[in-house]
Structure 1
Amino acid sequence: MSIADNLLAFTFAATLLTLTPGLDTALVLRTATVEGKQQALRAALGINAGCLLWGAAVAFGLGALIAVSELAYDLLKYCGAAYLAWLGLNMLLRPRSALSPVEAGATPAANWFLKGMTGNVLNPKIGIFYVSFLPQFIPQGQPLVAWTFGLVSIHVVIGLIWSTMLIAATRPLAGILRREKVIKWMDRTTGMIFVLFAARLAFSKR
Structure 2
Amino acid sequence: MSILFVITPGADWAYAISAGLKHRVVIPAVGGLLSGHLIATMVVAGGVGTLVANHPVTMSVLTMAGAGYLLWLGINMLVSPSTPRADEVQASGSWKRWALKGLCVSGLNPKVFLLFLALLPQFADATAPWPVPMQMIALGLVHTFSCGVIYLLVGFGSQVVLRTRPAAAHLVSRFSGAAMTLIAVALFAEQLLR
Q: TM-score, normalised by structure 1?
A: 0.81
SS in 2 for 1:176: coil
Between 20-29 and 43-52, report the one with greater CA deviation. 20-29
User: Which residue in the other structure is 2:183 paired with?
Assistant: 197
One-letter identity of the residue aligned with 1:124: P
Between 128-137 and 184-193, report the one with greater CA deviation. 184-193
Question: Offset of 1:97 from its aligned partner?
Answer: 5.5
Cα distance in structure 1, aligned partners of 2:68 and 2:123: 33
Matches within 5 A, 1:1-206: 13-32=1-20, 34-36=21-23, 38-95=24-81, 99=85, 104-108=89-93, 109-142=95-128, 143-177=131-165, 179=166, 181-204=167-190
Question: Offset of 1:175 from its aligned partner?
Answer: 4.0
SS in 2 for 1:50: helix
Counterparts in 2 of 1:49 and 1:175: CA distance versus 1, 3 Å: closer
Count of matched residue pairs: 189
SS in 2 for 1:73: helix
Counterparts in 2 of 1:171 and 1:81: CA distance versus 1, 3 Å: closer
One-letter identity of the residue aligned with 2:90: G
Counterparts in 2 of 1:184 and 1:21: CA distance versus 1, 3 Å: closer
Counterparts in 2 of 1:98 and 1:174: CA distance versus 1, 3 Å: closer
Cα shift readout 1:47-105 (whole Å, capped 9, x = no counterpart): 1110110111111122112212111011111111111111111121233566496x633
Cα distance in structure 2, aligned partners of 1:107 and 1:197: 31
- Aligned residues of 1:88 and 1:194 also touching (Cα < 8 A): yes
One-letter identity of the residue aligned with 1:35: K
Give RMSD over aligned pairs. Answer: 2.2
Q: TM-score, normalised by structure 2?
A: 0.86
SS in 1 for 2:164: helix
One-letter identity of the residue aligned with 2:151: S
SS in 2 for 1:104: coil
Cα distance in structure 2, aligned partners of 1:97 and 1:15: 30
Q: Which runs of 5+ in 1 are unaligned?
A: 1-12
One-letter identity of the residue aligned with 2:91: A
Cα distance in structure 1, aligned partners of 2:100 and 2:35: 9
Cα distance in structure 1, aligned partners of 2:86 and 2:182: 28
One-letter identity of the residue aligned with 2:108: L
Identity across aligned pairs (percent)? 27
Displacement over 4 Å in runs of 4+: 96-101
- Aligned residues of 2:44 and 2:116 also touching (Cα < 8 A): yes
- Aligned residues of 1:23 and 1:197 also touching (Cα < 8 A): yes
